[in-house]
Structure 1
Amino acid sequence: MTRALERGLKQSQKNYIVNGGMMVSQENNSTAGSATSFYPVDQFEYAVGGTTGVASVAQVANPTPGGSPNRVRVTVTTAAASVNASDVAYLRQKIEGLRMADLQWGTAAAKAITLQFGVKAPAGTYSVALWNGSAARYYVAQYTISAAEANTDVIKSVTILGDQSGTWAKDNTLGCHVFWPLINGSSFQAATVNAWSNISSGNPIGLAGQANLYATLGNIFELFDVGLYEGTAAPSFQLPDFPSELLLCQRYYAKSFLLATNPAQNAGFGGALVAVAATSGAGSISFRQYWPVRMRAAPTVTTYNTNANDANWWDVNGSASRVVGLAEQSDNSCRIVMNATSTAGSQHFIHWTANARM
């Protein structure tokens, strides 16, 4: 086999991470957030608790070694030099059981994986962690940013033997958590490193001695070019095709808004669902909205008025809001109705988001 062919085969390896190039950000685009459960890009969650430290988290436009135009940046805006037991902050991706079923974790045939990612951070010792979906099993490993590597783009990788124990979902429920801790107080520190263990207490996502990103105002942690691959070595990161990656992301979160528009009330007509009232009576609009792809599960549907600060239909002809109703929500569609009287023939607009994240 030629080296060129070997490289080609490696490049085709399945990446179990969704949106590892950080290009898709349907909910927030480049808008920064600091609250817990914030998604700077699709499928990557920022969570924080306990600490008085504050960070601004966002998708930023900055080319990566793998060729992506984007990465996630965490910037400390309020420092917290001391770390208490309950202090925690991390980036996380949750992987669906169906997506990783072929790794056969939880069986004697469990396959090894390699987690590879780009990072830019201050010098120090950092951790990555994996949990099973039920938070009963964990694995913590460390990586080091040397003084020479500090605040520069570097690629790190961790090889992990597949877990032959525990229960690992192989359906559409949560299969695996992948964590990149930024702070982990003692309640979040693991007793075991580089081995699968049961979670008997606490929430182990890192080790004692983990660098505290929040120690210094202005500290920056960037994550990019993320891949999780079967085997004991990872290929060079291959940037996914954007339309294909968007469809993968829409299994977990979708919206009617234009791609560059963050979901919000009173955000205008662009991309909105439009329907014409057949009669003047309540229920005169009943529209089945199909999702862009079949979603992981029946999503939570939120509606948005195009021209007012409520969640209802906007009646263009009557310049008024009309009460909305939802019915028959499923993994492929939802019925959106109007539960108010209107004018026959009047145009009505509404936006929606569908959230099936784990």
Structure 2
Amino acid sequence: MGSTIAVVPEVDEYAERLWAAVADGDETAAVGSVLDGYRAGIDPEALLLDVIGAVQRRVGIEWAGNRLTVAQEHAATSINDRAIAALAHVHRFPEPTRGRITVSCVDGEWHALPARLLAEVLRLRGFRIDYLGAQVPGPHLIAHLHRTGPDAVALSGSIATRLPTAHATITACQAAGIPVMAGGAAFGPDGRYARQFGAQAWAPDARAAADRLAEPLPRPHEAHQPIDDLPHLADQEYTMISRSNRQLVQAMYTGLEDRIPAMRDYTDLQHQHTAEDLAHIVDFLATAVYTGDSSLFTSFILWTAEILEARAVPATALPPSLELLGAELRDFPRATAMLREAGAALASLVAGREVRA
């Protein structure tokens, strides 16, 4: 009797099964699809990154396209986290033979799933892992490093407005003598902000991070202050904008009510959402001023316009919001230049849509 060869089903099949379960909010089916893939012989790392990770990216795309609500997006993320836990429960991880890595999110960062996926991949590859999760205050992270003495910190950030905090965290880790690998969307698609902030390494995804950590990261040579990396911060624009956030939002809101009288009839919830949107504009401008990168702010404004369009909400409030903020910051040359650049890009986007229509 001839031997039989087990054919491992395509990973895409299990990604589709997981997506269907996640979209339906069915945790049992979601976990079952991942465990079925494991029993079928699919590599655990592929299940983590090419099934669960791929589905999580799709969740973000569907939310941006207004095909998932915020509640559905949160539920989907929770289900994917449970699927990771179920896989970790059934798989026998190797005994740690490599170094010790602390995996942590930046303070203020609630998107923990990318860090969780990295932690599990590193465990699969034989590292000893301290996974600290989301929203880790800098002082607590540093205290942990002093207590455990890891070989490196893998710092995850998805929200660009947390970049100044990430910079301070990287500097603090290095002052403690621990090298830092940065990753996540916040650091830019090419890792530009990780390099700007002096991180020892950057990786675009979990596989690349695990590959890079296979070799020891260089130890920090000496402690330095964040302004050493960003000499333009000496002009104090970032500090003044950050400290004036509430006043700037209030001034923008009052100005918008004058320009768009219908806003006076908004419901309490609409008032709240509008104020939050204006606060995001100020936060992203402050972050762009911090990094000295105007494209960060322009990209956010264009992304916001796309999100509003997907939700059938006119982006009419965006141009006057930028004008009003520019008037408030007229004595801040770098900030006003960024506002003009974003306004011009937004005008081009709107003009292009009108031509297509």
TM-score by length of 2: 0.25
Identify the structure with the greater strand proportion: 1
- Per the normalisation by structure 1, the TM-score is 0.25
Could you say which structure has the higher helix fraction?
Answer: 2
- Identify the structure with bigger relative contact order (alpha carbons < 8 Å, sequence gap 6+): 1
